[in-house]
């Protein structure tokens, strides 16, 4: 214990002298490499070739537009949820409710896209659905935000619990009122997100997500609002001293976070599944947290991490077919990477996420 902390202190001292910049930059690739190394053990256990497996996961999906389209199906929601939860992380709020917020976003898009509304609106059901989805996602997150600042209830537990509630609400809706046909799912949407390429699933969602990532970066770094969020996250007392109405900002951070997750849900329905169904949000709620952590809350980092994770997910299916490694290997790899990043941050004396500095 002592040895570890003194080691951490001495390495931290070194990193501090370099302002943390260089070491932070190296952290992500180093963690990825370490995780892939450990992952190789798993691959070898299956009797497969690690290099081949990583080829199918990371390189193959980049080789054709069609495959890229598949990657984008993961990339868009991961990126949006990633920047969404990052807003909350900046204020040291842990929004673990991305899944629920996505589900409500998906619901918003569905309500606008299916008959009777969808038929009447035609192509206009897309913007209308996006708006409603964003609003519903934000609203679902607002519940946790409200409870947080009104009752000081832990947003960690509340957002987690609300995921399950949201799942059941969606399940109820697709089983009963919105059901269309034999399967528990809604009717097909009237309009789909326009494609960017005829032979690929690449659609406008990618562009929307990328633009918003830039906007996210600008808001966080270059506006008073972002400044105040970050101040609140680093030292609540200092932020209050600086004139930040903290309750309002906690609430806003949560709502903004939910709005982006809601958007992810809306785009997921209109660009991918075309119907509302159970599990439409996939694992993107927690996946977005991984992305935010890996990306160090930096817009470029988040985009890179989202791409990396999307490759893993999209490539894992091919990998399973070709090498026999189960797709669940990707979650092992993801978790390992984040654990290595956290390890690196601890040794480098850096911190991310919530910190309990009450003294």
Residues 275-304 that bind other proteins (CB under 8 A): 283, 286, 289-290, 293
Residue of 80, 82, 68, 302 whose CA lies nearest to 203:
68
Site for other proteins in 302-341 (CB under 8 A): 326, 328-336, 338-339
Does 212 contact other proteins by CB under 8 A?
A: no
Residue of the chain from 49, 64, 66, 168 that contacts other proteins (CB under 8 A): 168
- Out of 25, 37, 49, 164, name the contact with other proteins by CB under 8 A: 164
Q: State yes or no: residue 5 binds other proteins (CB under 8 A).
A: yes
Binding segment toward other proteins, per CB under 8 A, in 68-76, 101-109, 187-195, 240-248: 240-248
Please pick, from the candidates 11, 38, 42, 318, the single residue that binds other proteins as defined by CB under 8 A. 42
Cis status, amide bond into 137, omega within 30 of 0? no
Subset of 91-120 contacting other proteins (CB under 8 A):
94, 96
* Selected binder of other proteins within 171, 180, 200, 318 (CB under 8 A): 171
Return the number of the residue (43 or 264) whose C-beta is nearest other proteins.
43
Instruction: Report the Cα–Cα distance between both ends of the chain, in Å, rounded.
Output: 23
Q: How far apart are CA 205 and CA 64, in angstroms?
A: 19
Cα angle for residues 280, 261, 176 (degrees, 5° grid): 35
CA distances from 88 to 139, 146, 333 (A): 15, 14, 25
Judged by CB under 8 A, the residue of 51, 63, 151, 182 near other proteins is: 151
The reply to whether 180 sits near other proteins by the rule CB under 8 A is no
Name which of residues 50 to 79 contact other proteins (CB under 8 A): none
The smaller minimum CB distance to other proteins, of residues 9 and 26, is found at 9
Residue (86 or 270) nearer to other proteins, CB: 86
The helix/strand/coil state of 251 is helix
Q: Nearer to other proteins by C-beta: 59 or 343?
A: 343
Least separation in angstroms between residue 247's CB and other proteins is: 11
Q: Phi and psi of 310, rounded to 5°?
A: -65, -40
Nearer CB in complex with other proteins: 16/194: 16
State how far the Cα of 42 lies from the Cα of 46, in Å rounded to an integer: 7
| Separation between Cα atoms, residue 49 and residue 51, nearest integer Å | 6
By beta-carbon proximity to other proteins, the closer residue of 197 and 351 is 351
Total residues contacting other proteins (rule CB under 8 A)? 83
C-alpha span between 53 and 235 (Å, rounded): 44
CB of 119 to other proteins, least distance (A): 27
Residues contacting residue 105 through CB under 8 Å, at least 6 positions apart: 133, 134, 136, 137, 261, 262, 263, 264, 265, 266, 268
Local structure of 91: helix, strand or coil: coil
Distance (Å) of CA 243 to CA 40, 140, 170, 225, 316: 51, 28, 41, 12, 49
- Single out the residue of 40, 121, 234, 322 in contact with other proteins (rule: CB under 8 A): 234
**294 and 338 in contact (C-beta within 8 Å)?**
yes
């Amino acid at each position: 214990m002592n040895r570890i902390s003194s080691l951490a202190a001495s390495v931290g001292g070194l990193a501090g002298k370099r302002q943390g910049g260089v070491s932070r930059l190296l952290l992500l690739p180093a963690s990825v490499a370490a995780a892939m190394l450990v992952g190789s053990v798993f691959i070898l256990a299956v009797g497969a070739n690690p290099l081949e497996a990583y080829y199918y996961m990371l390189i193959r999906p980049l080789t054709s537009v069609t495959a890229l389209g598949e990657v984008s199906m993961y990339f868009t929601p991961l990126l949006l949820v990633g920047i969404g939860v990052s807003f909350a992380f900046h204020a040291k709020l842990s929004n673990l409710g991305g899944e629920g917020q996505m589900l409500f976003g998906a619901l918003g898009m569905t309500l606008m896209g299916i008959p009777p509304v969808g038929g009447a609106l035609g192509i206009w059901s897309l913007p209308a659905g996006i708006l409603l989805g964003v609003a519903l996602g934000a609203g679902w997150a607002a519940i946790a935000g409200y409870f947080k600042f009104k009752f000081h209830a832990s947003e960690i537990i509340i957002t987690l619990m609300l995921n399950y509630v949201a799942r059941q609400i969606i399940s109820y809706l697709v089983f009963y009122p919105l059901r269309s046909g034999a399967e528990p799912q809604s009717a097909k949407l009237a309009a789909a997100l326009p494609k960017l390429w005829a032979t690929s699933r690449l659609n406008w969602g990618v562009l929307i997500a990328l633009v918003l990532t830039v906007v996210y970066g600008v808001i966080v770094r270059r506006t008073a609002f972002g400044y105040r969020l970050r101040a609140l996250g680093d030292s609540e007392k200092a932020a209050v001293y600086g004139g930040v109405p903290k309750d309002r900002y906690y609430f806003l951070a949560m709502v903004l976070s939910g709005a982006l997750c809601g958007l992810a849900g809306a785009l997921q329905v209109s660009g991918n599944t075309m119907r509302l169904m159970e599990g439409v949000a996939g694992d993107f709620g927690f996946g977005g947290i991984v992305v935010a952590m890996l990306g160090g809350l930096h817009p470029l980092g988040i985009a890179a991490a989202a791409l990396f994770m999307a490759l893993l997910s999209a490539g894992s299916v091919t990998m399973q077919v070709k090498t026999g490694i189960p797709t669940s290997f990707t979650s092992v790899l993801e978790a390992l990477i984040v654990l290595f990043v956290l390890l690196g941050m601890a040794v480098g004396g850096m911190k991310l996420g919530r910190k309990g500095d009450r003294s």
